[in-house]
Structure formats: C-alpha cells, structure tokens
A and B are shown apart, each in its own frame.
Chain A
Amino acid sequence: MLKEEFRTHSSYSGKGRFLTFPLFVFVLASLSGLTIDKMTATVPLSQLGTFAHLSSFLYGLSVGAFGLMGREYLERRYGRSNYLVAMPYLLPISFRTTFLGIYLRDAVFYVVLMVLPATLGLVAVAPFMGFSLVSIGLLFVSVLLAFMLGMSLSFVASVVYIRNVRAFVGLTAVIAALFVGQGAFGLPKLEFIVPSLGFQANVRPFGHDPQIALLFAGASLVLSVGLAVAAYFLVEVRISISSQSYPQALPRYHSRVAWLSGLNRILVAKELVDLRRSGTVAKMFFSFVLPLLFLSFTVWFVNYGLAIPIGFNSVFYAAMVGFVAVLMYSWLNNIDLAEYYSLLPVTVPQLIKVRMLVFLVLTSGVSVFFVVAIALLNGETRLLWLALVVMAVTSVYIVTMTAYLTGLKTNSFLFDTSVLAKFSVMSFLPDVCLTILSFSLSADRVFAFVGIALVLGVLSVSTLILYRGIEAKWGPSSF
C-alpha cells in the first residue's frame, strides 16, 4: 500500500520531483527555525507552538477522512485506477483489515513526507540557533501525537458518516460544542479536548512537568488508538449495486442555468448533478466549512480568549477565506473520472474554466456568510464592504492560480515540488501583504487602503493573465 501511494503521487510529476517534496518541507522548516527570533518578537513562543500543534491536528483530520475515499477507491476499481483496498473482492482478506492498512499506510506515509522532514529542518539549524535537540525531539513527539489524534478522529467520523449521517452530525456537534465551550467559558481546557497539546505544554521548551506531560501523552495515545479501533469495527462497505431510480435531473439543471450559454451551460449543469449525487457536500463540509469555523474560532479565541493584542479584523479574515476556498476547487476535481470527456468535443481548458465557475457559484454564498458573520461578531460593519471586496478578489485569484498550476489534477500536482513552490509563493506573498495591511488598518487607514487597493489591483491583473494562460498551458493535454 505504501508503494501504491507513492506511485499514485509520483505518477503525475515524476518520481524525482515528488521526492523533492520532503526536501521542500525541510527547507521551509529550516527557514522558520532561522527566523524564530523575529517571529517570537510579535507572537509568544507558546502561541507559535499551539498553532503548530493545532495545524498538525488539522492536517491529521484532513488525511484521515479516507473512510469516504475508500468507498470511492472501491467504486473506481473498474476505471483506470485500481487500489489494493479492493483486495477483499479477490483475496481472502477482510475490508476491515484493508482499511486498517490504509490507516497505517497514511500514518507512515504522511509522517515521513511532512512531519519528519519538518523536524529534521529544525535539527539542521539547531547548532546556529541554539535549539536543544531534546526539545526538538519532544516537539516531534507532540506534533506526531496531534497528527495521529486528528487522523483517528477523522477516520472514525468518516466511517460513522458512511453508516449514519445523523450520528455523524451528532458527533460533529459534540466536538464543536467542546470547542465553543472552551472559547466561551474556558471549559473544558483545550488540553482536555486535544490531549497532545497538554503534553506539549508540559515539556521543554514550553514547560517542564514530566509527570503531567506523560499523563497527557498517554491519554492522547489511548484516545488515538481507541478511535482507530472503533473505526476498525465500524467500517462498513456499501458498494453493492443499488436499484435506486433517479429523476432526470440534468435537463432540470440545464434549464436552471439558462443564464449560461453554449457548452458551458450543459457542462455546469452536469457538474451540479455530480455534486448532488456524489455526496460531495459532506466533503465540502470537511474541507471548507470546518477550516472556516476553525479560523473563526482562532480569530475570536486570540482576540477574546487569550486577549492577545493582534489586530485581527474582518479584512484579514476575508483574505483568509479566499485562500481557504481553494480546497473546494480541489474537491470538484475529485468527484469523478473525466476520461469520457476525451470522446467528446470538449477540451481540458474548457472543463477547467467550468469548474472554476462552479467553484465560484458554490463558495460565494458560504464565504459571504462567514465574512458578514465575523464582521458582525467583531463589531466591524464599517469594514464589511472592504472585507467583501478582498474576499471576492482573493477567491477568484486563488482559484485561477490553482487551476492554472494544477489543471484538473489539483491534489496530485500539489505534491510536485516545482508546482508547490510556485503555489506557495503565489499564495503566500499576497497573503502576507494583505495580513500586514489589514493589521495596519487601525494605525494608518489611508496607508492600509492604498496598500490593499494596490495588492488587489495586482491580484486582479494576475488573475486575468493566469486565466488567459490556462488555454496555452492545458490545451494540449488529455483528460
């Protein structure tokens, strides 16, 4: 399974390029290590540690949702991609075992791909920055625990979703209630929701209470294993042929998008039918709404929970919403295989542009809702107009840039180091600029407005150039 995962990822960009991905992570971690003094001048080390920890937890959450993906692997076994998860059809092995295999595979694969190189990056700069190797080792353990916890939680949640959507909603509500309770009343403590954080807070360089740290580490480990075991027993594979009849939705959707014309109209209608029938809404929930909720919570928590005087405002938030929205485009490319398009007079750039359009239709409402909500919560309705403009421009820019760089294979190409490097620079630079400018809104409004207008102007021109470039870049490629 590890070899299968490696070959899947390296099949698009080549083995060499894929193998440089951990190197990229290594370099990024080294640079972060070298600039740690600058960063801790504005944000305390403990907060940086918490962000790194929760990021790892979130990363684990995103990796562990294969309870959903596993079903698709099974259903696609007659397509061009066949995965070992379908082995139980042919060999005397249970689906549970293969799903456990995926869990272990992903744990090893992504730790080696991301967590380990990041740790080694810090080790590499340790002599220059005076980092203790023991502290780095402990940080690795804590981040690993957070990743495993996120993975296990996501694994069990996705398995529950397959069995019973209501139970899934209930589980999600309980977890959300824990975080809301933490933010609103300080209860339960964050360490009791994410126990691995308790371990991190009590070991060097963040604290020094080995006994408490061990207790939290043990709790985290038990919880991770417990959730994974629960998922193992709850795994249910529903791939039997259904006799369900479906109403003819495509002509209806085709009528509904009458504001479009020509080929785009039928392609958009078909994408909407796919979205509805594939259950991608749940995945959208995982990959778009949850990060937005987390971001909302973080902004709110930092401002009110921790009372850290960082100038988060709705403009900053709007820029973030734009960047998070790109995950949606990635999902649109994962709904179904696109090979049948090669039999029809349709080009890859046409489909890319249609998916960008669908992306905008789908995300606009949710994004506007979140930006308006955060503006109201922060009492910043004065900045709402600017926040909405920032959100719209960054959303369109980020999806155009992603579509230009990755075409119809977003997930795969983002593991290509050269593509990832371009993606990082092209998203990081405007992100940083908008963050700094949004922070300066309270200090020098004119400077901030002019700066934001300039950045948005550059992003708009870039969007236009990239949009036009899609034709030349992806025109010759096949589906």
Chain B
Amino acid sequence: MIAHSLHKAGRDHKHVGRFRSTNLDIRCPGIAFSDMAVLHAQDIVKDFGGMRALDRVSLTVQKGDFFGFFGPNGAGKTTLIRVLTGQLAPTSGAIDVLGVDAVKEPLRVKELVGIVPEVESPPTYLTAHEYLYFVGKVRNLDRLEDRIDKWLTFFDLGEKKATICKDMSKGMRQKLMLASAFIHEPALLFLDEPFINLDPIYQRTLREYLEEYISKGGTVFMASHILEIAQRLCNRLSIVNLGKVVAQGDMGELLKGGDTLEKLFMRSVGIGTGRE
C-alpha cells in the first residue's frame, strides 16, 4: 500500500550535507556532492494563526532527482516550497538545502537555488532584459550580457526585451520568471507550476530543458497539477493532502501494476477516479 512509503525517505537520510567532490556543469558554489541528498526536510510544521498548513512534513531529495510534489488546491504545496526556499520560516522542523540550514540561513539558500513561484510576478516597470540584468547583478553573475542573451533567445523573448513586464502576457511573464530562475545555473530548482501559462511549444521546450538539466547533474523539486507531464518527468514523488504527506517514494514503485499518477493521486487524497 501507499502507506508503506510514508516518511520512508525522511527517515533514511542521516548524512545530509556531507557531499563529495564532483565535476558538475551546473553551479554549486562552495558545495560538492555526488549521489547524496541535496534537500532534506524533517518534521516541518507551518502554522498560520490557528491554521496548520504543513503538518510534520518530512522528505528527502537526492541529487539528480526530478522530485514531484502533488496535492489538491490548498494542500500546502506552495507553502512547503516557500518554507524550503527560505521565503517563509517554518513554525518548527529542520531543513537542509545543499548543505545549508535553511532555517538559519535563508538568504544563503536563495543564493544557491533557483525558484519559480506559483504566481508569475516580475517587477511591473522593468523590461525583460532589465529584469534579467537586475537578477544577474543581485546574484553578482559574470558574463551577464551573454547569459541574458542566451535566456532571452531560449524563451523567444528577444522581441519583448524592451517591453515592460506590465505589458507582457501571462505566458511571457512566466517565461521571464523561468529565465530568471535558470540564469545563474543553480544546482537545485524549485518550480511551482512551471508549465502553467506556457503554450504547448514551450511546455515541450521546458520539459526537454529540464530533462537535459537533470542529465547534467541538476535536481528539480516541482509542484504541479499537470500530472501527465509530471509522470513523464519525475522519478520520485510526494503527495500531500491537508498539510500531511499521504504518499511518498519512487515513481516506479508507487505506480507498479500499470497505475497512472492520476489514479495514485486520486486514491491518495481519498477520491475515486470513476474510471476503475
């Protein structure tokens, strides 16, 4: 049963932060690691007033994982991403991201990772080029103009590079948020609904880029409602409902017997698919 996998990963990883040196194409400033955990969260609790948004969530993500995080609306996915990336302090619990204590050093975590938020919200009055320039300067990146050109070209934003974000479509803004998260080539990406607002062409482009990114040693932690794409991309997953992890483990193991991710999801959150 699914319950078999609950919290398993969280219990098994005791060596977080002890990374071995390796050569990576992607950026891992000051940190070298191999096949160990790049993210470990233990018993994360997040309360908003009287409401418990996350209830003792534990999970571990290994280097090279494409980790999917799923749940119904309001289950706590975005809150967990914000907590893991140092945007929100947890009420209790421990978080280790790329060897950094995310509770004590949230700023350092944000230096190391790339984040794409659920709501695309680039600065209203900057152009696409300016926003990437801004992000590059904040992150103190070298070869900035080259990087900007690369990502504007990749996301076909060249024609919009002089358009301010206020005047862009949602899809354009989403592409810009993706570019701003990728520009420093981080070792770990947190993506909250990255495919939303993208047209089918760029859904495929992004999917292919992320597959290549993983193959080069990167790690992705992704929350998404688009289960078909997630099933193709993710090798490990966690399903959360009402702030609690209700299923967790390897995609292959959890989908044994020809299950789809959608069926697993529905079962995990206590809803029949109606197609069984």
Contact = CB atoms under 8 A, between A and B. Distances in A.
Contacts, number: 96
Interface in A310-347: 335-337, 339-340, 342-347
A242 B106 CA distance: 38
Q: How large is the interface on A (under 10, 10 to 19, 20 to 34, 35 or more residues)?
A: 35 or more
A263 B117 CA distance: 22
B177 to A, nearest CB: 8
B28 to A, nearest CB: 16
A273 B130 contact: yes
A207 to B, nearest CB: 51
A442 interface: no
B111 interface: yes
B117 to A, nearest CB: 6
Contacts of A249: 130
A270 interface: yes
A431 interface: no
B181 interface: yes
A92 interface: no
A277 interface: yes
Given A248-B162, A251-B133, A345-B111, A270 B123 contact: yes
Interface string A270-309: 1001100110000000000000000000000000000000
B125 A476 contact: no
Given A270-B134, A343-B115, A345-B107, A476 B89 contact: yes
B87 A266 contact: no
A246 B162 contact: yes
Instruction: Name which of A80, A263, A344 has the most chain B CB atoms within 10 A of its CB.
Output: A344
A248 B162 CA distance: 7
Nearest to A277: B125
Interface string B138-163: 11000000000000000000000011
Contacts of B125: 273-274, 277-278, 335-336
Contacts of B167: 241-244
Interface string B103-122: 00001101100010101011
B126 A345 contact: no
A75 B123 contact: no
A278 B124 contact: yes
B216 interface: no
A343 B124 contact: no
A250 B130 contact: yes
A188 to B, nearest CB: 42
B242 interface: no
Given A336-B123, A336-B124, A342 B87 contact: yes
B89 A340 contact: no
B142 to A, nearest CB: 15
A265 to B, nearest CB: 8
B123 A248 contact: no
A247 interface: yes
Interface in B41-72: none
